[in-house]
Structure 1
Protein backbone atom coordinates (compact mmCIF):
# COMPACT_ATOMS: atom_id res chain seq x y z
CA UNK A 1 0.00 0.00 0.00
CA UNK A 2 1.30 3.45 -0.93
CA UNK A 3 2.19 5.95 1.78
CA UNK A 4 0.39 9.31 1.60
CA UNK A 5 2.82 12.12 2.35
CA UNK A 6 2.34 15.77 3.26
CA UNK A 7 5.42 17.97 2.84
CA UNK A 8 5.93 21.13 4.89
CA UNK A 9 8.44 23.40 3.21
CA UNK A 10 7.62 21.96 -0.21
CA UNK A 11 9.04 24.88 -2.19
CA UNK A 12 12.24 25.21 -0.17
CA UNK A 13 15.75 24.03 -1.03
CA UNK A 14 15.28 20.41 0.09
CA UNK A 15 11.52 20.45 -0.44
CA UNK A 16 11.72 21.00 -4.20
CA UNK A 17 14.04 18.02 -4.62
CA UNK A 18 11.82 15.90 -2.38
CA UNK A 19 8.74 16.69 -4.47
CA UNK A 20 10.49 15.31 -7.55
CA UNK A 21 11.76 12.27 -5.67
CA UNK A 22 8.35 11.43 -4.21
CA UNK A 23 6.83 11.71 -7.69
CA UNK A 24 9.28 9.07 -8.87
CA UNK A 25 8.45 6.58 -6.08
CA UNK A 26 5.60 4.19 -6.84
CA UNK A 27 4.90 3.51 -3.17
CA UNK A 28 4.63 7.20 -2.18
CA UNK A 29 1.85 9.68 -2.91
CA UNK A 30 2.25 13.41 -2.31
CA UNK A 31 -1.18 14.49 -1.09
CA UNK A 32 -0.33 17.76 0.66
CA UNK A 33 2.17 20.61 0.47
CA UNK A 34 2.78 23.63 2.68
CA UNK A 35 4.46 26.90 1.74
CA UNK A 36 3.42 30.27 3.14
CA UNK A 37 4.84 32.19 0.20
CA UNK A 38 3.05 30.11 -2.45
CA UNK A 39 -0.21 29.23 -0.68
CA UNK A 40 -3.20 28.76 -2.97
CA UNK A 41 -1.16 27.83 -6.04
CA UNK A 42 -0.84 24.43 -7.67
CA UNK A 43 2.45 22.74 -6.87
CA UNK A 44 3.13 22.31 -10.60
CA UNK A 45 2.84 26.07 -11.10
CA UNK A 46 5.69 26.65 -8.63
CA UNK A 47 7.93 23.63 -9.29
CA UNK A 48 8.21 23.04 -13.03
CA UNK A 49 9.74 19.57 -12.59
CA UNK A 50 6.46 18.17 -11.20
CA UNK A 51 3.01 17.69 -12.71
CA UNK A 52 1.35 17.53 -9.29
CA UNK A 53 -2.01 19.32 -9.05
CA UNK A 54 -1.82 19.47 -5.22
CA UNK A 55 -2.91 22.89 -3.98
CA UNK A 56 -0.33 24.41 -1.65
CA UNK A 57 -1.59 25.16 1.86
CA UNK A 58 -0.47 28.02 4.06
CA UNK A 59 -0.17 25.95 7.25
CA UNK A 60 0.13 22.39 8.46
CA UNK A 61 -3.26 22.67 10.16
CA UNK A 62 -4.87 23.57 6.84
CA UNK A 63 -3.05 20.86 4.92
CA UNK A 64 -3.94 18.11 7.38
CA UNK A 65 -7.64 18.57 6.74
CA UNK A 66 -6.87 16.01 4.04
CA UNK A 67 -5.67 12.89 5.82
CA UNK A 68 -2.15 11.62 5.23
CA UNK A 69 0.12 8.98 6.73
CA UNK A 70 3.35 10.94 7.18
CA UNK A 71 4.22 14.62 7.56
CA UNK A 72 7.72 15.58 6.46
CA UNK A 73 8.94 18.89 7.86
CA UNK A 74 11.65 20.95 6.15
CA UNK A 75 10.59 24.40 7.34
CA UNK A 76 12.19 26.77 9.85
CA UNK A 77 13.24 26.57 13.50
CA UNK A 78 10.48 28.93 14.67
CA UNK A 79 7.61 26.78 13.31
CA UNK A 80 8.84 23.18 13.27
CA UNK A 81 7.77 22.29 16.81
CA UNK A 82 4.20 23.49 16.37
CA UNK A 83 4.01 21.68 13.01
CA UNK A 84 5.18 18.42 14.55
CA UNK A 85 2.79 18.61 17.51
CA UNK A 86 -0.12 19.43 15.18
CA UNK A 87 0.58 16.30 13.14
CA UNK A 88 1.02 14.10 16.21
CA UNK A 89 -2.31 15.26 17.64
CA UNK A 90 -3.90 14.18 14.37
CA UNK A 91 -2.38 10.70 14.61
CA UNK A 92 0.12 11.28 11.82
CA UNK A 93 3.70 10.01 11.79
CA UNK A 94 6.41 12.67 11.37
CA UNK A 95 9.83 12.91 9.74
CA UNK A 96 11.75 15.98 10.96
CA UNK A 97 14.46 17.43 8.72
CA UNK A 98 14.36 20.93 10.22
CA UNK A 99 17.00 21.97 12.75
CA UNK A 100 16.57 24.18 15.79
CA UNK A 101 14.79 21.83 18.20
CA UNK A 102 16.29 21.50 21.67
CA UNK A 103 16.65 18.38 23.81
CA UNK A 104 13.73 19.66 25.89
CA UNK A 105 11.61 19.96 22.73
CA UNK A 106 12.42 16.37 21.84
CA UNK A 107 11.35 15.17 25.29
CA UNK A 108 7.94 16.79 24.79
CA UNK A 109 7.64 15.45 21.24
CA UNK A 110 8.46 11.93 22.42
CA UNK A 111 5.85 12.13 25.18
CA UNK A 112 3.16 13.28 22.76
CA UNK A 113 4.14 10.68 20.14
CA UNK A 114 3.78 7.89 22.70
CA UNK A 115 0.46 9.32 23.89
CA UNK A 116 -0.95 9.36 20.36
CA UNK A 117 0.79 6.12 19.30
CA UNK A 118 2.72 7.50 16.32
CA UNK A 119 6.34 7.43 15.24
CA UNK A 120 8.60 10.47 14.91
CA UNK A 121 12.01 10.25 13.26
CA UNK A 122 14.25 13.30 13.62
CA UNK A 123 17.70 13.69 12.11
CA UNK A 124 19.96 16.69 12.21
CA UNK A 125 21.20 15.51 8.84
CA UNK A 126 19.78 12.84 6.53
CA UNK A 127 22.96 12.54 4.43
CA UNK A 128 24.55 9.10 4.63
CA UNK A 129 28.05 10.51 5.23
CA UNK A 130 26.70 12.54 8.16
CA UNK A 131 25.23 9.37 9.63
CA UNK A 132 28.60 7.66 9.28
CA UNK A 133 30.37 10.62 10.93
CA UNK A 134 28.11 10.28 13.95
CA UNK A 135 28.76 6.55 14.25
CA UNK A 136 32.53 6.93 13.82
CA UNK A 137 32.59 9.78 16.33
CA UNK A 138 30.76 7.69 18.93
CA UNK A 139 33.40 4.99 18.50
CA UNK A 140 36.22 7.54 18.83
CA UNK A 141 34.68 8.93 22.02
CA UNK A 142 35.03 5.53 23.69
CA UNK A 143 38.81 5.68 23.34
CA UNK A 144 39.52 9.38 23.92
CA UNK A 145 38.78 11.73 26.79
CA UNK A 146 38.36 15.15 25.15
CA UNK A 147 36.85 16.47 21.94
CA UNK A 148 35.18 19.53 20.45
CA UNK A 149 32.86 20.18 17.51
CA UNK A 150 33.11 22.84 14.80
CA UNK A 151 29.86 23.62 12.99
CA UNK A 152 30.08 25.35 9.59
CA UNK A 153 27.21 26.87 7.59
CA UNK A 154 26.43 29.76 5.28
CA UNK A 155 25.71 33.25 6.53
CA UNK A 156 22.01 32.65 5.74
CA UNK A 157 21.56 29.96 8.38
CA UNK A 158 20.03 31.69 11.40
CA UNK A 159 20.00 28.83 13.91
CA UNK A 160 23.15 27.78 15.71
CA UNK A 161 24.41 25.24 16.31
CA UNK A 162 23.02 23.32 13.35
CA UNK A 163 20.84 20.28 13.88
CA UNK A 164 23.74 18.12 12.76
CA UNK A 165 26.05 19.55 15.44
CA UNK A 166 23.36 19.38 18.13
CA UNK A 167 22.65 15.74 17.36
CA UNK A 168 26.36 14.90 17.33
CA UNK A 169 26.92 16.57 20.70
CA UNK A 170 23.93 14.73 22.14
CA UNK A 171 25.19 11.37 20.94
CA UNK A 172 28.72 11.94 22.19
CA UNK A 173 27.31 12.96 25.56
CA UNK A 174 25.53 9.62 25.79
CA UNK A 175 28.82 7.80 25.25
CA UNK A 176 30.49 9.71 28.10
CA UNK A 177 31.34 13.19 29.25
CA UNK A 178 34.63 14.65 27.97
CA UNK A 179 37.24 15.60 30.56
CA UNK A 180 38.67 19.00 29.61
CA UNK A 181 42.32 19.66 30.40
CA UNK A 182 41.53 23.36 30.68
CA UNK A 183 38.04 23.86 32.21
CA UNK A 184 35.97 26.66 30.66
CA UNK A 185 35.44 28.40 34.00
CA UNK A 186 39.21 28.85 34.31
CA UNK A 187 39.52 30.61 30.96
CA UNK A 188 41.39 33.89 31.18
CA UNK A 189 39.54 36.32 28.97
CA UNK A 190 36.19 35.96 27.21
CA UNK A 191 34.76 32.57 28.15
CA UNK A 192 32.34 32.87 25.19
CA UNK A 193 35.28 32.41 22.85
CA UNK A 194 35.43 28.76 23.94
CA UNK A 195 32.06 28.07 22.34
CA UNK A 196 28.78 26.80 23.75
CA UNK A 197 28.61 23.76 26.01
CA UNK A 198 26.09 21.19 24.75
CA UNK A 199 25.81 17.87 26.58
CA UNK A 200 29.30 18.47 27.92
CA UNK A 201 30.85 19.17 24.51
CA UNK A 202 32.18 22.53 23.35
CA UNK A 203 30.57 23.51 20.03
CA UNK A 204 31.80 26.37 17.83
CA UNK A 205 29.50 27.65 15.08
CA UNK A 206 30.78 29.53 12.02
CA UNK A 207 28.34 31.35 9.74
CA UNK A 208 30.16 32.63 6.67
CA UNK A 209 29.65 33.03 2.91
CA UNK A 210 31.23 30.20 0.95
CA UNK A 211 29.98 27.40 3.22
CA UNK A 212 26.95 25.20 2.64
CA UNK A 213 27.08 22.84 5.60
CA UNK A 214 29.87 20.96 7.33
CA UNK A 215 30.58 19.56 10.77
CA UNK A 216 33.89 18.50 12.28
CA UNK A 217 34.50 16.37 15.35
CA UNK A 218 38.04 16.77 16.69
CA UNK A 219 39.43 14.30 19.23
CA UNK A 220 42.68 15.11 21.03
CA UNK A 221 45.23 12.85 22.66
CA UNK A 222 48.81 13.50 23.71
CA UNK A 223 50.88 14.14 20.57
CA UNK A 224 48.04 13.04 18.27
CA UNK A 225 44.56 14.00 17.15
CA UNK A 226 41.72 12.60 15.08
CA UNK A 227 39.52 14.78 12.84
CA UNK A 228 36.28 13.40 11.40
CA UNK A 229 34.54 15.75 8.97
CA UNK A 230 31.32 15.68 6.98
CA UNK A 231 30.87 18.26 4.24
CA UNK A 232 27.86 18.84 2.01
CA UNK A 233 27.76 20.44 -1.41
CA UNK A 234 25.24 22.89 -2.81
CA UNK A 235 22.75 20.22 -3.94
CA UNK A 236 19.96 18.82 -1.75
CA UNK A 237 20.50 15.35 -3.22
CA UNK A 238 22.35 13.91 -0.15
CA UNK A 239 19.33 14.57 2.06
CA UNK A 240 16.68 13.20 -0.29
CA UNK A 241 17.64 9.53 -0.19
CA UNK A 242 17.82 9.51 3.59
CA UNK A 243 14.47 11.26 3.89
CA UNK A 244 12.79 8.73 1.60
CA UNK A 245 14.18 5.95 3.78
CA UNK A 246 12.82 7.69 6.87
CA UNK A 247 9.34 8.05 5.32
CA UNK A 248 9.24 4.32 4.72
CA UNK A 249 10.34 3.42 8.27
CA UNK A 250 8.69 5.98 10.55
CA UNK A 251 5.43 4.04 10.92
CA UNK A 252 7.28 0.93 12.15
CA UNK A 253 7.70 2.20 15.74
CA UNK A 254 6.03 4.39 18.37
CA UNK A 255 7.68 7.41 19.99
CA UNK A 256 10.72 9.44 18.96
CA UNK A 257 13.88 8.14 17.35
CA UNK A 258 16.80 10.47 16.64
CA UNK A 259 19.24 9.84 13.85
CA UNK A 260 18.74 8.10 10.53
CA UNK A 261 20.94 5.22 11.68
CA UNK A 262 18.25 4.30 14.23
CA UNK A 263 16.33 2.71 11.34
CA UNK A 264 19.33 1.53 9.35
CA UNK A 265 21.27 -1.73 9.61
CA UNK A 266 24.69 -0.39 10.60
Structure 2
Protein backbone atom coordinates (compact mmCIF):
# COMPACT_ATOMS: atom_id res chain seq x y z
CA UNK A 1 0.00 0.00 0.00
CA UNK A 2 1.32 3.47 -0.94
CA UNK A 3 0.53 6.17 1.63
CA UNK A 4 -0.17 9.52 -0.03
CA UNK A 5 -0.22 13.09 1.29
CA UNK A 6 -1.92 15.62 -0.97
CA UNK A 7 -0.73 19.23 -0.65
CA UNK A 8 -3.35 21.58 -2.06
CA UNK A 9 -6.20 19.27 -1.11
CA UNK A 10 -8.81 22.05 -1.21
CA UNK A 11 -7.59 23.37 -4.57
CA UNK A 12 -9.17 23.24 -8.01
CA UNK A 13 -7.12 20.26 -9.19
CA UNK A 14 -7.65 18.05 -6.14
CA UNK A 15 -11.17 16.50 -6.40
CA UNK A 16 -10.68 14.02 -9.29
CA UNK A 17 -7.18 13.04 -8.14
CA UNK A 18 -8.25 12.50 -4.52
CA UNK A 19 -11.22 10.46 -5.76
CA UNK A 20 -8.88 8.32 -7.87
CA UNK A 21 -6.58 7.75 -4.89
CA UNK A 22 -9.51 6.69 -2.73
CA UNK A 23 -10.78 4.29 -5.41
CA UNK A 24 -7.39 2.63 -5.95
CA UNK A 25 -6.71 -0.65 -4.16
CA UNK A 26 -3.00 0.07 -3.79
CA UNK A 27 -3.18 3.71 -2.60
CA UNK A 28 -4.43 5.34 0.59
CA UNK A 29 -4.77 9.02 1.42
CA UNK A 30 -3.22 9.46 4.86
CA UNK A 31 -2.90 13.26 4.99
CA UNK A 32 -3.75 16.48 3.24
CA UNK A 33 -2.32 19.99 3.38
CA UNK A 34 -4.34 23.19 3.23
CA UNK A 35 -3.88 26.26 5.39
CA UNK A 36 -7.53 27.26 5.01
CA UNK A 37 -8.88 23.85 6.09
CA UNK A 38 -6.23 22.81 8.63
CA UNK A 39 -7.67 20.86 11.54
CA UNK A 40 -10.43 19.31 9.47
CA UNK A 41 -10.07 15.52 9.48
CA UNK A 42 -6.63 14.55 8.15
CA UNK A 43 -5.82 18.03 6.84
CA UNK A 44 -2.81 19.93 8.22
CA UNK A 45 -1.50 23.47 7.76
CA UNK A 46 1.95 22.50 6.49
CA UNK A 47 3.72 19.58 4.87
CA UNK A 48 6.00 19.27 7.89
CA UNK A 49 2.98 18.84 10.17
CA UNK A 50 1.40 16.29 7.84
CA UNK A 51 4.56 14.20 7.64
CA UNK A 52 4.87 14.23 11.42
CA UNK A 53 1.27 13.15 11.92
CA UNK A 54 0.85 10.29 9.45
CA UNK A 55 2.82 7.70 7.45
CA UNK A 56 3.60 9.13 4.00
CA UNK A 57 5.39 7.44 1.11
CA UNK A 58 4.54 10.01 -1.58
CA UNK A 59 3.76 13.71 -1.37
CA UNK A 60 1.64 15.05 -4.23
CA UNK A 61 1.95 18.82 -4.60
CA UNK A 62 -0.70 20.82 -6.42
CA UNK A 63 -0.31 24.10 -4.58
CA UNK A 64 1.12 27.28 -6.06
CA UNK A 65 4.30 28.79 -7.43
CA UNK A 66 4.93 30.44 -4.06
CA UNK A 67 4.43 27.32 -1.92
CA UNK A 68 5.75 24.44 -4.00
CA UNK A 69 9.45 24.84 -3.27
CA UNK A 70 9.16 24.72 0.51
CA UNK A 71 6.73 21.79 0.33
CA UNK A 72 8.86 19.69 -1.97
CA UNK A 73 12.18 20.39 -0.24
CA UNK A 74 10.59 19.54 3.13
CA UNK A 75 9.35 16.20 1.84
CA UNK A 76 12.59 15.22 0.13
CA UNK A 77 14.64 16.04 3.22
CA UNK A 78 12.27 13.76 5.16
CA UNK A 79 12.95 10.90 2.75
CA UNK A 80 9.55 11.09 1.06
CA UNK A 81 9.06 10.63 -2.70
CA UNK A 82 7.36 13.54 -4.45
CA UNK A 83 5.03 14.08 -7.40
CA UNK A 84 5.07 17.76 -8.43
CA UNK A 85 2.09 19.11 -10.32
CA UNK A 86 2.60 22.76 -9.38
CA UNK A 87 4.33 25.26 -11.62
CA UNK A 88 6.89 27.77 -10.43
CA UNK A 89 10.14 25.79 -10.18
CA UNK A 90 12.94 26.86 -12.52
CA UNK A 91 15.51 24.75 -14.33
CA UNK A 92 17.98 25.74 -11.60
CA UNK A 93 15.52 24.61 -8.95
CA UNK A 94 15.17 21.21 -10.60
CA UNK A 95 18.93 20.80 -10.82
CA UNK A 96 19.23 21.55 -7.11
CA UNK A 97 16.28 19.27 -6.34
CA UNK A 98 17.83 16.42 -8.30
CA UNK A 99 20.96 16.60 -6.16
CA UNK A 100 18.91 16.76 -2.96
CA UNK A 101 16.74 13.79 -4.01
CA UNK A 102 19.81 11.71 -4.80
CA UNK A 103 21.36 12.65 -1.47
CA UNK A 104 18.27 11.39 0.36
CA UNK A 105 17.62 8.41 -1.92
CA UNK A 106 14.14 9.41 -3.09
CA UNK A 107 12.40 9.89 -6.41
CA UNK A 108 10.71 12.98 -7.82
CA UNK A 109 8.41 13.08 -10.84
CA UNK A 110 7.61 16.65 -11.89
CA UNK A 111 5.36 17.63 -14.76
CA UNK A 112 4.05 20.95 -15.92
CA UNK A 113 0.94 19.03 -16.94
CA UNK A 114 -0.04 15.48 -16.00
CA UNK A 115 -2.47 15.17 -18.90
CA UNK A 116 -1.68 12.29 -21.23
CA UNK A 117 -2.79 14.46 -24.17
CA UNK A 118 -0.27 17.16 -23.21
CA UNK A 119 2.46 14.53 -22.90
CA UNK A 120 1.66 13.32 -26.42
CA UNK A 121 1.96 16.90 -27.71
CA UNK A 122 5.43 17.21 -26.17
CA UNK A 123 6.48 13.91 -27.70
CA UNK A 124 5.16 14.78 -31.16
CA UNK A 125 6.64 18.28 -31.05
CA UNK A 126 10.06 16.87 -30.09
CA UNK A 127 9.92 14.61 -33.15
CA UNK A 128 9.07 17.61 -35.33
CA UNK A 129 11.96 19.59 -33.84
CA UNK A 130 14.38 16.92 -35.05
CA UNK A 131 13.51 17.88 -38.63
CA UNK A 132 12.34 21.51 -38.47
CA UNK A 133 14.67 24.27 -37.38
CA UNK A 134 12.38 27.22 -36.60
CA UNK A 135 9.64 27.46 -33.97
CA UNK A 136 7.98 29.75 -31.49
CA UNK A 137 5.53 28.94 -28.69
CA UNK A 138 2.32 30.58 -27.52
CA UNK A 139 1.34 30.07 -23.90
CA UNK A 140 -2.37 30.30 -22.99
CA UNK A 141 -3.83 30.50 -19.48
CA UNK A 142 -6.60 32.01 -17.40
CA UNK A 143 -6.59 35.75 -16.88
CA UNK A 144 -5.68 35.47 -13.18
CA UNK A 145 -2.79 33.00 -13.53
CA UNK A 146 0.20 34.84 -12.02
CA UNK A 147 3.15 32.76 -13.25
CA UNK A 148 4.39 33.10 -16.83
CA UNK A 149 4.85 31.00 -18.81
CA UNK A 150 2.72 28.20 -17.37
CA UNK A 151 4.31 24.92 -16.32
CA UNK A 152 2.73 23.27 -19.35
CA UNK A 153 4.51 25.63 -21.72
CA UNK A 154 7.80 25.61 -19.83
CA UNK A 155 7.88 21.84 -20.10
CA UNK A 156 7.15 21.97 -23.83
CA UNK A 157 9.85 24.59 -24.43
CA UNK A 158 12.41 22.64 -22.41
CA UNK A 159 11.55 19.41 -24.25
CA UNK A 160 12.14 21.09 -27.60
CA UNK A 161 15.29 22.82 -26.37
CA UNK A 162 16.68 19.42 -25.40
CA UNK A 163 16.40 18.41 -29.06
CA UNK A 164 18.08 21.54 -30.41
CA UNK A 165 17.96 25.32 -30.19
CA UNK A 166 15.78 26.82 -32.93
CA UNK A 167 17.36 29.01 -35.56
CA UNK A 168 17.43 32.64 -34.56
CA UNK A 169 15.34 35.23 -36.36
CA UNK A 170 16.38 38.90 -36.21
CA UNK A 171 18.61 39.28 -33.11
CA UNK A 172 16.98 41.23 -30.30
CA UNK A 173 19.67 43.91 -30.45
CA UNK A 174 18.73 44.63 -34.07
CA UNK A 175 14.98 45.01 -33.50
CA UNK A 176 13.18 48.32 -33.90
CA UNK A 177 10.62 48.67 -31.13
CA UNK A 178 10.18 47.10 -27.70
CA UNK A 179 12.06 43.81 -27.44
CA UNK A 180 9.33 42.52 -25.11
CA UNK A 181 7.11 42.13 -28.16
CA UNK A 182 9.30 39.16 -29.16
CA UNK A 183 8.43 37.28 -25.97
CA UNK A 184 10.69 35.58 -23.44
CA UNK A 185 13.42 33.08 -24.26
CA UNK A 186 12.81 29.58 -22.89
CA UNK A 187 14.84 26.64 -24.13
CA UNK A 188 16.23 28.91 -26.82
CA UNK A 189 12.76 29.63 -28.27
CA UNK A 190 10.58 32.73 -28.09
CA UNK A 191 7.57 32.19 -25.83
CA UNK A 192 4.56 34.52 -25.83
CA UNK A 193 2.14 34.35 -22.88
CA UNK A 194 -1.55 35.14 -23.35
CA UNK A 195 -3.70 35.70 -20.24
CA UNK A 196 -7.38 36.16 -21.06
CA UNK A 197 -10.83 35.11 -19.83
CA UNK A 198 -12.00 31.95 -21.56
CA UNK A 199 -8.68 30.12 -21.31
CA UNK A 200 -7.67 27.58 -18.67
CA UNK A 201 -4.36 26.06 -19.82
CA UNK A 202 -2.99 25.71 -23.32
CA UNK A 203 0.21 25.65 -25.35
CA UNK A 204 0.83 25.96 -29.08
CA UNK A 205 4.08 25.45 -30.91
CA UNK A 206 4.34 26.84 -34.44
CA UNK A 207 7.05 25.48 -36.72
CA UNK A 208 8.09 27.27 -39.88
CA UNK A 209 10.23 25.86 -42.67
CA UNK A 210 10.54 27.53 -46.08
CA UNK A 211 7.01 28.44 -47.19
CA UNK A 212 5.36 25.89 -44.89
CA UNK A 213 3.98 26.07 -41.35
CA UNK A 214 3.04 23.37 -38.88
CA UNK A 215 1.02 24.15 -35.75
CA UNK A 216 0.57 21.78 -32.80
CA UNK A 217 -1.77 22.92 -30.03
CA UNK A 218 -2.92 21.54 -26.70
CA UNK A 219 -5.81 23.09 -24.80
CA UNK A 220 -7.61 22.05 -21.64
CA UNK A 221 -11.08 23.07 -20.55
CA UNK A 222 -12.22 24.07 -17.08
CA UNK A 223 -12.07 20.54 -15.65
CA UNK A 224 -9.10 18.99 -13.83
CA UNK A 225 -10.21 15.44 -14.62
CA UNK A 226 -7.58 14.90 -17.37
CA UNK A 227 -4.78 15.25 -14.80
CA UNK A 228 -5.91 12.34 -12.62
CA UNK A 229 -4.67 9.35 -14.64
CA UNK A 230 -1.18 10.77 -15.13
CA UNK A 231 -0.87 11.77 -11.47
CA UNK A 232 -1.92 8.31 -10.29
CA UNK A 233 0.64 6.75 -12.65
CA UNK A 234 3.34 9.01 -11.20
CA UNK A 235 2.38 8.13 -7.61
CA UNK A 236 2.75 4.45 -8.41
CA UNK A 237 6.08 4.79 -10.21
CA UNK A 238 7.88 7.68 -8.51
CA UNK A 239 9.88 5.36 -6.24
CA UNK A 240 11.29 3.38 -9.18
CA UNK A 241 14.23 5.77 -9.73
CA UNK A 242 16.23 8.10 -7.48
CA UNK A 243 16.44 11.74 -8.55
CA UNK A 244 14.23 13.99 -10.65
CA UNK A 245 12.36 12.87 -13.74
CA UNK A 246 10.73 15.66 -15.74
CA UNK A 247 7.44 15.29 -17.55
CA UNK A 248 4.80 12.59 -17.72
CA UNK A 249 6.51 11.50 -20.92
CA UNK A 250 9.41 10.19 -18.83
CA UNK A 251 6.99 7.51 -17.60
CA UNK A 252 4.95 7.00 -20.77
CA UNK A 253 7.76 6.99 -23.32
CA UNK A 254 10.98 6.66 -21.33
Q: Which residue of 1 aligns with 2:148?
A: 160
* 1:177 matched to 2:176: no
**What is the CA-CA distance between 1:17 and the residue it aligns to?**
1.9
What CA distance in whole angstroms lies between the structure 2 residues aligned with 1:172 and 1:230?
A: 15
What CA distance in whole angstroms lies between the structure 1 residues aligned with 2:131 and 2:172?
A: 22
**What is the CA-CA distance between 1:156 and the residue it aligns to?**
1.7
CA distances 1:167-221 after superposition (whole Å, capped 9, x unpaired): 1111111111111232222211000010001121111111111101110011011
Q: What does 1:211-230 correspond to in 2, within 5 Å?
A: 211-230=199-218
Q: Which residue of 2 aligns with 1:50?
A: none
Match of 1:117 among 105, 109, 130: 105
* 1:78 matched to 2:77: no
CA distances 1:86-119 after superposition (whole Å, capped 9, x unpaired): 0001100000000011000001100000000000
**What is the CA-CA distance between 1:71 and the residue it aligns to?**
0.2
Q: What does 1:7-22 correspond to in 2, within 5 Å?
A: 7-22=6-21
Task: Flag structure 1 segments of 5+ consecutive residues without an equivalent.
Answer: 43-54
Q: Which residue of 1 aligns with 2:26?
A: 27
What CA distance in whole angstroms lies between the structure 2 residues aligned with 1:71 and 1:256?
A: 14
**What is the CA-CA distance between 1:67 and the residue it aligns to?**
2.3
Q: TM-score, normalised by structure 1?
A: 0.93
Q: What's the C-alpha RMSD, in Å, of the aligned pairs?
A: 0.9
What CA distance in whole angstroms lies between the structure 2 residues aligned with 1:8 and 1:63?
A: 9
**What is the CA-CA distance between 1:265 and the residue it aligns to?**
4.0
What CA distance in whole angstroms lies between the structure 1 residues aligned with 2:206 and 2:173?
A: 21
Q: Which residue of 1 aligns with 2:36?
A: 37
Q: Secondary structure at the match of 1:145?
A: coil
Q: Which residue of 1 aligns with 2:196?
A: 208
What CA distance in whole angstroms lies between the structure 2 residues aligned with 1:103 and 1:265?
A: 21
Q: Which residue of 2 aligns with 1:189?
A: 177
Which structure has more relative contact order (CA 8 Å, sep 6+)? It is 2
Task: Flag structure 2 segments of 5+ consecutive residues without an equivalent.
Answer: none
* 1:233 matched to 2:221: yes
Q: Give the total of aligned pairs.
A: 253
Match of 2:93 among 101, 105, 108: 105
Q: Secondary structure at the match of 1:235?
A: coil
What CA distance in whole angstroms lies between the structure 2 residues aligned with 1:18 and 1:216?
A: 26
Give structure 1 regions of 4+ aligned residues with deviation exceeding 2 angstroms: none
